[in-house]
Amino acid sequence: MSTFVTLEQIDQAADFIRSRTSHRPRVGLILGSGLNSLADSIENADYIPFNEIPNWPLSSVQGHAGRLVIGELEGQTVLTMQGRVHFYEGYSMSQITLPVRVMIRLNIEIMIVTNAAGGVNPRFTPGDVMLITDNLNMVGMAGANPLIGPNIDEFGPRFPDMSQVYDPALMTLARKVALERQITLREGVYCGLSGPSFESPADLRFLKLIGSDAVGMSTVPEVIVARHGGLRTLGFSGISNKANLDGSTVTTHEEVIEAGKVITPKIEAIVRGVLRAL
Ligand code: HPA
């Protein structure tokens, strides 16, 4: 695969998926570290392992299964990515966002993303769920924006607007569902970093200063590509650990996966409610 994924490569993947399922999904779900059990509840599911899909980037990280699960959930036809790849695995930004472009070519209208994140906002505690209201594109601002390279006009313009990255109507719906189900829903800005090292205390103090409520290693590239291509987007962070601003604690991947067990039922309930109401 060349550095920049082409429309032809995207369409090869989309055509393959279309040939392997008769479902025509309206909603795409990307489920993060330790948060992907929702895919197991999908009815009439067709399963497509990532390694069978042409040009699809493959993950190596523990906690990320690798397949598409396409079927029915809460009255919607959904395409679910059980697992995703990250920039730190060595793929280009263009490669890690190929799945989102495939969703767009499959005529998906809405993308819901979840991730595990460190809580920078001092009011957050591990186990909380945060509605992502905006994001800080640290990696992209520093030169690795996923839209760098030839613009594919079929998706959107060269210089896409990002004033409303997350869809206001979908956010309103998520708040309503959380309230109805008595789930505390935090809100804030997700700061996307490359990883794979966790942040130093000085990094975290800086990230807090510039307005981050939660920090993680995914989501922002996918969401930018989604917005470029006109997808309506909704995102949730599961707060898996308190960001270590004073250097007094240690952050581990195991703790992130473990916290997913508390967070998953809450995110699942909200996502189910949103799907039901769409
Ligand atoms: N930092 C970055 N990414 C993360 C964290 C964190 O503390 N927790 C889960 N993903």
Which residue ranges of the chain lie beneath pLDDT 70?
A: 1-2, 33-34, 61-65
Answer yes or no: 248 catalytic.
Answer: no
In the chain the domains, ranked by start, together with CATH numbers, are 7-277 (3.40.50.1580)
116 lines ligand 1 (CB under 6 A): yes
Per DSSP, the residues of the chain read --SS--HHHHHHHHHHHHHH-----SEEEEE-TT-GGGGGG-EEEEEEEGGGSTT------TT---EEEEEEETTEEEEEEES---GGGT--HHHHTHHHHHHHHTT--EEEEEEEEEE-STT--TT-EEEEEEEEEHHIIIII-TT-SS--TTT--SS---TTSS-HHHHHHHHHHHHHTT--EEEEEEEE---SSPPPHHHHHHHHHTT-SEEESSSHHHHHHHHHTT-EEEEEEEEEEE--TTS-S---HHHHHHHHHHHHHHHHHHHHHHHHH-
Of 1, 37, 41, 88, the catalytic one is 88
pLDDT of residue 18: 98
Q: Are 18 and 250 in contact (CB under 8 A)?
A: no
Question: In testing the pocket of ligand 1, which one of 200, 256, 258 has its CB within 8 Å of the most ligand atoms?
Answer: 256
Res 45: pLDDT: 96
Is the minimum distance from the CB of 97 to ligand 1 under 6 angstroms? Answer: no
Residues 217-234 pLDDT 10s? 999 999 999 999 999 999
